[in-house]
Structure 1
Amino acid sequence: MHQSKSVTHTFHARTYPLRVHAGADALAALPMELQRAGASRALIVCGRSVHERTDLTQRIGTLAGGRVAGIYSRISEGAPAESIEEAAAKAREVGADALIAVGAGSVIKGARVVAMLLGENRPLVEMATVHRDDAPAVSQRLEAPKMPIFNVLTSPSSAQNRGGSAVRYRGDAHHLEFFDPKTRPQAVFWDSHALATAPSTLARSTSFEIYWWGLMCMGALETTNPLAQASRRHAWHLARQSYPRLGREGDAAARIDLCAAGLLQNRDEEDGGRPWSCHLLARAAYASAVAVFNHYDGITQPRGYAAFAPAMIRALGACVPDVTRALGEALGMMLPDGSGDAELAERVAARVARDFQGQGWRTDLHDRGIPAADAPMLIALALRNYNANHDRLLDPHREAMQTAIAATLAPQ
């Protein structure tokens, strides 16, 4: 690797208690977990398809032996605020003392915000991160106790063990961001049967976020601390080996390996690695993808990741040539010294695009009918992303990012 900085040995790490149950019949441990938490009236939170098209909620209810008080099954993609508020109302109605989140990213993130609503007992907007122009965003302190959460994954997700969440919101805000470490789960379940309920197309979509972040974090491998380095190396190894196997029927190991990669990405964050803002290119692509996802219906966040990563490498890669080179090398490129930074950025952007296309992803949004004229609005939203721009590092690159967004939206 040709990094300009060496590994840092000044860092702060923390470890949160978590139990992981994986493999065939892993859900058999759920009654023990509920009993350990003193929970007797858990609310299952899930999406409509999980409740209506699988036997998971029925299976969980049977296993829990009377410890499930109800089901809320209308969490949809992006965790819209209305569904979060309805789920909290349902929890109050049944007197819930725990949440069992059954699903992937949106459901798991949504359950955390439900717990925040129940614990804090105040409106979403009063709990959300505050964004101010030309100043760092401020994350609200949410001090009230939160009820225990148990996450049952139906598809690999890097949302499984975090304290942060975001929900889609009405009006100009578009989405609200929250953070409360007390909403981390007490246990997660990588049950082979539960993971098999997601069609391969859905598993490939949700798991691409893990694959994408695995690659992006390799761009900052040599500049993070030794604990985070270990998580990044193995998360990328697992993701690169397992993601192409998701289409194989009955390959439970691939889905569990991707769950493990997602958990390692969570651990990277706990170990002080700050994976969500690990370098300029990841920040720019992530913020742009989230802005598009929250503003337009029908565009998933992984679709945005696939589209904006090559675009931002091409636009900004020359600003951080060591990061750009590391991304190329993670994909097996042999990059001799001596090439110009702009040429390096173009070559690596093309290689990343080919890799994503080889995994079945389109690397632009030209088919979505979004006008390039929307780019100024989207860059404004992107720069308000707390994870990507909490320290305003993206602000000086506004013009280059806006140009890249416009080119990604529509042919130039």
Structure 2
Amino acid sequence: MQTEAVQTSRSFRHFAPAMRLYYGEDSLESLRPELERSGVTRVVVFCGRSLSQHPQGLPPIARHLGALHAGSFTEVASHSPLPAIIAGRDMLRETRADAVLALGGGSAIVTARGATILLGEDRPIEALVTRFAPGQPPRSPRLQAPKLPQFVVPTTPTTAIAKAGTAVLEPASGRRLTMLDPRTRAQAIFVDPRLALATPVAVVRDAALNALAMAVQGLESHMRQPLAEASLLEAVRLLRDNLPRLGTSADSAEVRGALLLAAVLTGQGTDQTSCGLTAALGHCIGARHHTANGTVNAVLLPHVIRFNAPATGERLAAVAALLGGDEAGQTGTADSAARACAGFFARLGVPSRLSDIGIEAAAFESILADVEDDWFFHQNPRRVESLQQVRDILQAAL
């Protein structure tokens, strides 16, 4: 097997943001001491309605917080719609919160961050979002106002756990509005694998598929470097070993915990590298058509890998080997990596065509109208010269 060696002698930068992670069945024992160490006296919990009532959701968190629990915002919704962000901001203001704890998956984490940004900046959201102008790189305004500290108790393997980006849905237009504020990165993460058992299998599977697609995109990136690669390859290994066990008799807290750790590693790794066109298209399709990002990404990833092949060469050789590369030994090619990914998804029973998940050719125009306004579109390893190339990828995946 031929592989592309990572050039450890070349120059690169690696900034690892401070993060405290507690893992295990005793992790929540550290919740209150950690908040008190940070000077927190009034924390608001953000979660969805189902977790607010689940015996393994909000009730045990509230018990651990005790007198620090200033209230709960339970109106979190899928894709983090702007009205929920605004309502969350208002609750933070009314409760005089001095910290935020997100309980759940990506929507809870992003809603908590978005509400915190709106509260701290105290400006209309139009002044806070990343701007995309044709022929120019994206421009994000500096969001320099102080922010409430963020804490996360994840129950799904979302890469949002360890990230600082905030993308909210504007329901009227169907557009995603993106804000980037490093001050909203989690100060501490508490992973109790048992809590993840409260999340439906379909939700966990989709988040894990999204993590896998992001990890592969990070390994495709031209910004790839050894420390990030170590995180991303370990994430792929954990996802490979544990995704097939999800929803079977082998499913367990240990399996859910491994998927959560894979998501953290993917988030950290892609902070150092990037994602690309698969993620950008997944965001556009998910926001407009209310489909799960992970499933969309699984459908599109093999096609985008093939599109990127002229720029990526053998970068995905290790992915091809990990996911079950070609028996003929051609695991160094991008096409073999695409086949390995598609084969792995097929073994999981994931749909392989856009039409299988209700996306038809008539939807392409709205997708193409949105895709350039996504941060990851501009970080794809192969430059997209025209939207016709994107249309061709969508058509191939149809």
Report the Cα offset of residue 67 of structure 1. Answer: 0.9
Q: Which amino acid aligns with 2:309?
A: G
TM-score of the superposition, structure 2-length normalised?
Answer: 0.90
How far did 1:265 drift?
A: 2.0
What is the CA-CA distance between 1:126 and the residue it aligns to?
Answer: 1.2
| 5+ long unaligned stretches in structure 2 | none
Which runs of structure 2 are paired with 1:82-93 in the superposition (5 Å)? Answer: 82-93=83-94
Could you give the per-residue CA deviations for residues 160-187 of structure 1, whole angstroms, max 9, x where no partner exists? 1111110111344611011111111111
Tell me if 1:229 matches 2:226. Answer: no
Partner Cα distance (1:235, 1:162) in 2: 15
1:280 corresponds in structure 2 to none
Aligned-partner residue type, residue 50 of structure 1: L
* Cα distance in structure 1, aligned partners of 2:265 and 2:330: 35
Deviation at 1:256, TM superposition (A): 1.6
Structure 2 matches for 1:132-143, cutoff 5 A? 132-143=133-144
2:277 corresponds to: 284
Cα deviation, 1:103-137, whole Å, max 9, x if unaligned, reads: 01111122111111111011222111011111111
Q: 1:7 to 1:334 in 2, by over 3 A?
A: farther
Distance in 2, matches of 1:337 and 1:105, equals 38
Aligned to 2:17: 16
Q: For 1:1-400, list aligned pairs within 5 A.
A: 1-3=2-4, 6-7=7-8, 9-172=10-173, 174-219=175-220, 224-247=224-247, 248=249, 251-270=252-271, 273-276=272-275, 283-297=276-290, 299-318=291-310, 320-323=312-315, 327-334=319-326, 348-389=337-378, 394-400=383-389
Alignment size in residue pairs: 396
> What is the rounded CA distance, in whole Å, between the counterparts of 1:232 and 1:362 in structure 2?
24
Contact 2:99–2:148 at 8 Å: present in 1 too?
yes
- Determine the C-alpha separation between the residues in 2 that align with 1:22 and 1:320: 35
Distance 1:324 1:226 in 2: 14
Q: Distance in 2 between matches of 1:214 and 1:392?
A: 14
Q: Taking structure 1 as reference, are residues 173 and 203 closer, same or farther at Cα in structure 2, changes over 3 Å only?
A: closer
Letter in 2 for 1:275: S
Q: Pick closer, same or farther for the CA change 1:123–1:362 going to 2, 3 Å.
A: same
* Shift of residue 314, structure 1, vs aligned partner: 4.1
Structure 2: distance between partners of 1:90 and 1:69? 10
AA in 1 matched with 2:269: D
Residues 102 and 108 in structure 2, CA contact (< 8 A), matched pair in contact too: yes
Give unpaired runs (5+ residues) of structure 1.
277-282
Normalised by the length of structure 1, the TM-score is: 0.87
1:60-91 CA distance string (max 9 Å, x none):
22221211111111111110111111111111
Between the aligned partners of 1:64 and 1:241, the Cα distance in structure 2 is 34
Q: What RMSD over aligned residues (CA atoms) do the two structures have, in Å?
A: 2.7
Shift of 1:264: 1.8
Judge conservation of contact 1:8–1:226 (CA < 8 Å) in 2: no
Residues 88 and 111, structure 2, Cα contact 8 Å, conserved in 1:
no
In structure 1, distance between residues paired with 2:127 and 2:72: 27
- Alpha-carbon deviation of 1:293? 0.5
Q: Is the 8 A contact 1:136 1:392 kept in 2?
A: no
Counterpart Cα distance in 2 of 1:337 and 1:251? 35
Q: CA deviation at 1:373?
A: 3.2
Q: Structure 1 residue 212: deviation in Å? A: 2.5
Deviations 1:372-399 (A, max 9, x none): 1332331231122113315896431532
Asked whether the 8 Å contact 1:218–1:236 carries over to 2, the reply is no
Instruction: State, as a whole percentage, how many aligned pairs show the same letter.
Output: 27
Structure 1: distance between partners of 2:373 and 2:381: 9
Taking the aligned partners of 1:391 and 1:206, their CA distance within structure 2 comes to 21
Residues 1:156 and 1:173: Cα distance change in structure 2 (over 3 Å): closer
AA partner of residue 288 (structure 1): L
Give 3-state SS (helix, strand or coil) of 1:168's partner. Answer: strand
In structure 2, how many angstroms separate the alpha carbons of the residues matched to 1:322 and 1:249? 34
Distance in 2 (CA, whole Å) between partners of 1:92 and 1:304 is 37
